[in-house]
């Protein structure tokens, strides 16, 4: 047997390959209308000493974090990337009124219990960051460190109006994969400069093929219910922010309208007194798919714990 083939089949090589192979999992959670399955992708050694939870934005799903997950696994992490209710492979909720932060927090707490981790690091983009802020504000929260990606404790009504308009304009289907990719390249342009590989990845995990050959979004249109026009007003979560005790890293896209510079600066002066990093050439929200952004997150999480 050749030495190359021996290495390919060695236990160490197999273990490394398995560590960066995603595993599909799910857990049953409860809402007012019954039970629903929350799907999540898990990476790395199930017995790793550090666990990271990566929670996506408003209409996205957990596979957005694949590149970051691989980088964290290489630093010894187990990584868990859920699809929030109504997104990705998770069930849709029976009552659209339940698409709100209390439900997301409840679901994530249930998922954390399933992982068995006593302590986790949280990386949250947009809605995932809001959910993390609410979890971290609780007494005895299990969050060791938290990365909040382009969101803060104050949400301006004009940005919320933009999101509401975006949700009401969600397409019902696409004629083919290329039409879907063109849509994501346009609507997610604020993610920053991404290559063809990244756009293909984002599209692939955001759609499903129907029996008629068309593609639909993996998003329940009902998530837009709480963004109906009568609900547009400034949202403040400074009380929750001021209650956070764990170290926090705040990431901001240079052109973000959801996390203004003034709010980002205030986040460094009160509550957990976060560290702030701003990324150029992107808006809401940095995709966390390029080497600089991934490196920033990984270095901050691991600099004093994993070497």
Under DSSP, is residue 230 helix (H, G, I), strand (E, B) or coil? helix
Please give the CATH number for the structural domain made up of 19-153+237-302.
3.40.50.1820
Distance CA 271, CA 247 (A): 10
In the numeric block, which tokens belong to residue 260? 């203004």
Q: Which residues pair with 28 in a beta bridge?
A: 37
Whether the predicted pLDDT of 8 surpasses 70: no
- Model pLDDT, residue 227: 79
Q: Measuring CA to CA, which residue among 129, 134, 135 is closest to residue 151?
A: 129
Percentage of the chain lying above the pLDDT 70 cut: 91
- Model pLDDT, residue 235: 84
Q: Measuring CA to CA, which residue among 210, 219, 201, 221 is closest to residue 175?
A: 210
Q: Measuring CA to CA, which residue among 110, 132, 125, 101 is closest to residue 25?
A: 110
Q: HSE of 7 in the Cβ direction (CA atoms, 13 Å)?
A: 3
Among 22-36, 113-127, 214-228, the least confident range: 214-228
* Three-class HEC string of 64-101: HHHHHHHHHHCCCEEEEEECCCCECCCCCCCCHHHCCH
Q: Which residues pair with 38 in a beta bridge?
A: 27
Whether the predicted pLDDT of 279 surpasses 50: yes
Longest Cα separation, the chain: 70
Whether the predicted pLDDT of 232 surpasses 70: no
Distance CA 218, CA 12 (A): 37
Q: Which residue has the higher pLDDT, 304 or 139?
A: 139
Nearest-10 Cα torsion for 267, 69, 128, 107: -130
Average pLDDT over residues 276-283: 97
Under DSSP, is residue 116 helix (H, G, I), strand (E, B) or coil? coil
Distance CA 118, CA 120 (A): 7
Average pLDDT over residues 242-261: 97
Helix and strand numbers, DSSP H then E, in the chain: 11, 12
- Model pLDDT, residue 225: 85
Average pLDDT over residues 179-189: 98
- Model pLDDT, residue 82: 98
List CB contacts of 270: < 8 A, sequence separation 6 or more.
238, 241, 242
Residue 191 DSSP one-character state: G
**Average pLDDT of the chain, as a whole number:** 92
Q: Which residue has the higher pLDDT, 255 or 224?
A: 255
pLDDT confidence band for 230 (50 / 70 / 90) = low
pTM, to two decimals: 0.92
Distance CA 51, CA 66 (A): 15
* Region class of 214: left (phi > 0), else alpha (psi between -120 and 50), else beta: beta
- Model pLDDT, residue 50: 96
List CB contacts of 306: < 8 A, sequence separation 6 or more.
50, 75, 76
Task: Give the model confidence (pLDDT) of 156-180 as tens digits.
Answer: 988 888 898 899 999 999 999 999 9
Whether the predicted pLDDT of 3 surpasses 60: no
Percentage of the chain lying above the pLDDT 90 cut: 84
Q: Measuring CA to CA, which residue among 113, 131, 153 is closest to residue 54?
A: 131
- Model pLDDT, residue 16: 56
List CB contacts of 132: < 8 A, sequence separation 6 or more.
55, 122, 124, 143, 146, 148
Burial class (CB in 10 A: 0-12, 13-18, 19+), 21: exposed
- Model pLDDT, residue 1: 46
Average pLDDT over residues 28-53: 97
Average pLDDT over residues 108-121: 97
């Amino acid at each position: 047997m050749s030495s190359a083939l021996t290495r390919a089949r060695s236990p160490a090589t197999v273990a490394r390959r398995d560590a960066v192979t995603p595993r599909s999992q799910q857990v049953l959670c409860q809402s007012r209308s019954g039970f629903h399955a929350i799907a999540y992708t898990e990476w790395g050694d199930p017995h790793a000493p550090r666990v990271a939870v990566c929670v996506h934005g408003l209409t996205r799903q957990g596979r957005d974090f694949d590149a970051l997950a691989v980088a964290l696994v290489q630093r010894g992490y187990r990584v868990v990337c859920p699809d929030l209710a109504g997104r990705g492979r998770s069930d849709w909720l029976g009552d659209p009124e339940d698409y709100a932060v209390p439900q997301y927090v409840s679901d994530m707490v249930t998922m954390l219990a399933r992982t068995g981790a006593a302590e986790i690091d949280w990386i949250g983009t947009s809605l995932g960051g809001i959910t993390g802020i609410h979890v971290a504000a609780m007494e005895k929260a299990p969050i060791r460190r938290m990365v909040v990606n382009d969101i803060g404790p104050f949400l301006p009504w004009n940005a919320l109006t933009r999101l509401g308009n975006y949700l009401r304009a969600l397409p019902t289907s696409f004629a083919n994969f290329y039409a879907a990719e063109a849509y994501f390249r346009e609507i997610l342009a604020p993610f920053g400069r991404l290559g063809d590989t990244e756009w293909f990845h984002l599209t692939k995990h955001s759609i499903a093929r129907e029996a008629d050959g068309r593609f639909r979004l993996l998003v329940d249109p009902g998530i837009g219910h709480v963004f109906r026009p009568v609900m547009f007003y400034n949202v403040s979560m400074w009380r929750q922010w001021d209650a956070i005790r764990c170290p926090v890293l705040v990431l901001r896209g240079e052109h973000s309208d959801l996390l203004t510079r003034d709010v980002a600066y205030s986040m460094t002066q009160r509550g957990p007194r976060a560290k702030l990093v701003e990324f150029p050439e992107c808006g809401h929200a940095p995709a966390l798919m390029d080497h600089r952004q991934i490196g920033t997150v990984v270095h901050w999480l691991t600099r004093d714990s994993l070497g």
